[in-house]
Structure 1
């Protein structure tokens, strides 16, 4: 009997608390304004340097999975294996941000966004990790995109990798599971930081 009453008593306590808050909990309602009340105050505003942003990740947004010299990433391969993703989704096309970023930036600007965090596709810049050449088509793409972001008056924030890595590094030594990945990541980061072709705002 005691065991069967416990859930019922617990439910009653929750209902009583929500419907008629005690003096100890009523302070929340008295001292905290609703969002509607806050927005109604004339003197309420965000700081001038407040960043309203949005974000994306290369694999989930770019698509163009083999465009302009890009090689396969670990996610390109993983999502192509039947049964690994329940609905079979993959990033081969995604939202085609690689080709449609100018329109996407227009939408962001219309929303009032003033910052954009996006990730670079490691396999679009270094096709074979430190074991190959730099893909200048990938570098040029990201430089064009950064310039477009700056021209919109938005501030770019760059994530060097969002869990995607050239598949070749996965095959050679297991990528993130092996300490060798540090050498590849340092090599990749140094190449990215050397690229300063974007226009200064």
Structure 2
């Protein structure tokens, strides 16, 4: 039984790792004249496949902790908190940005966000990664697996700190506080409704809103 309990978390983590590195392999075998296209469309394929695999794994989930064993909130509440969570994430992002710029002297613009926006402006289909596939995978990895694992070991605060910092570091950006604050909001939403769909909804809506606001401003 112990082995079976570990199957889903490990499978989700391995899926995430493969999805991150598969585009590099595709790039390595692509003709030199199509390197950029190979990376872009390889990433779209890899992240889409990764998100779909995680959704299937979640339906057959063997993860057992206080969150997964609790009763999920009704779907009406899941959607409602997903919408509210989007506003909470924006508020947390705004406060974090002020702290980083006023106290830490960091620029308000995120290099990671700017690079993604530049890519989307040239390759619109890349939006599917930023808006949908990446948020799905990140919520399964950082909230359902990592946050859920530490939830029973360290409590909600410790689990939120660990998972949110890892979430921030994986974005390879200097705005650690910015991404961590978003991670805290998504962790709260997961605890609030006991359903991973809630932070996924908030994450998807936030990413999509940020991209659209920047592209059409």
Question: Would you say same fold, with TM above 0.5?
Answer: no
Task: Calculate the TM-score normalised by the size of structure 2.
Answer: 0.28
Higher relative contact order (CA 8 A, sep 6+): 2
Task: Calculate the TM-score normalised by the size of structure 1.
Answer: 0.29
Query: Higher strand fraction: Structure 1 or Structure 2?
Result: 1
